[in-house]
Structure 1
Amino acid sequence: MDAPRLAAPVTGAVTRFLGGAGLLLRGLGLYVRSPGLMLLGIVPALISGVLFVALFATLLYFVDDLAALVTPFADDWSETWRSLIRVAAGLAVVGLAGLLGVLTFTAVTLAVGDPFYEKISERVEERLGGTPGAVDVPFWASLRRSILDSLRLVAISALVGVPLFVAGFIPLVGQTVVPVIGALVGGWFLALELVGAPFYRRGMRLPERRSLLKADRPTTLGFGVAVFLCFLIPLGAVLVMPAAVAGATLLARRSLGQSVVEEG
């Protein structure tokens, strides 16, 4: 089905960005008021979190070797310049791994915990008046589509991450501007991934949700960047993931022009 075209809000971009970040806090509030779902929501993220923490710790252990591997041209440089370029290379490797790690963690966790996160999203929609235009999508078909769309998003983000990785070698810029751009890129793809459940519930796929979220990009980025930064905090991804699913449901409803106010 074709996505409806909605006019972009007239408020300022900064206000909308902050409003998007606020959706994560609202999602947290909606989530914690469902005690029965809290533990179930954390379990899938905890399973994925243990795996990804182990992988990231392994990367940090070998980061010096990887930095040397991608900078063979510096072997004959003076020790000072060789050390500087390899520190920059190490930071670039960690930055790229962080970007891809957050997105891959989200994709894996959503796949592992699909029934739990679907229930959280449904509970949020019930409190906001239900799901207009809901369609009956079989579980396995929904899971297959979710995995395919997630793989597509991770692949696209990897292509975007390569130029950021290269830019990470630029002194000063690579350690200041590039992380900000990385957070914005990661936040955008993260938001696209997290809103999958409410859009699938309406029979809408990745192209539709991308089009709708673009109509209010600052709000989408505000939400996505807030989640992205929380996911970078140790154990943040495990604790925030269920609230991010709830907040993403609010974001999806707002992008569709549907109520995000709880009914009495």
Structure 2
Amino acid sequence: MELKSSHIWLMVIASTFFWGSNFNAGHAVAADVTPLTAAAERFAIALVLFWAIRFFFGAAESQLSKRDAFILVPLGVIGVFGFNYAFFTALHTTSALNAALIMALSPLVSTLLSVLLLNVKIRLYQYIGMLIAFIGVTFVITGGHFSMLHTAIGDLWMLLACGVWSLYSVGSKKFAPHIPPLQFARWTVSIGAIALIIAAIVIEQPFNAIGQLSLQTHSILMYMGVCGSVLAYIYWLRGVFFLGPEKSAIAFNLVPVFTLLVSLAFGSIPNAVQVLGMLLVLAGVLTSSGWKPKALTNA
């Protein structure tokens, strides 16, 4: 069955909504559950779903070699374990919108890492876009009080999360381009999930804590596991396949917008500095991507 372009775009937009609302969801459970336990439950759910999809709906896949294991294990630990520990830790002391805006820098950080790891050349407009986005994130992190450098520790954790996610993304291109994306996602999620579960058991001994969590907290973590981890990735990969990475990457800029809209829906009003920071981050990322309005492109 051939999918229409509109259906593909709906999938891509749905994935950005799931990712954007993940920040709101993570912030909502931050007071009730520790970072490792939250991440372990979320990815235990994702782990089961990814393998269920593989066994019931999966087609033939690439044969992985022993060398691939030495690639997938560190990438899974970095991209899933590292990112999610930093992500949930960040949301204890920063807002969902701040976290989403900082994470919006990931395409730019990935570009810089691509220079180091993939020998990619950066053009002038990309440097300009990076500078604009950096100024925007500086507004978000400092709250506009540049002389006081008022920075929440959660913002620094989110910068770390952005960095390790970008390293995961670029690392997949350098070391695992031969592995199909969905297969790569399933294996790295599985490895990261197992690492999170083991770390949670050893460090936090979460079984009593999990049993005491409210149904609402479990439901939020279920949403993050099903929608924010599995469906978002599948929909995004489908969009990249049909639309190409360039068009899909522009849609990624909707992530902080959806975080803002969900925050507004739950009564959290951003301040003027956050709104200004968001606009600058979006403008910087769009500039760096080389995107132009269609009217200018055809002029």
TM-score, with normalisation over the residues of structure 2?
0.26
TM-score, with normalisation over the residues of structure 1?
0.28
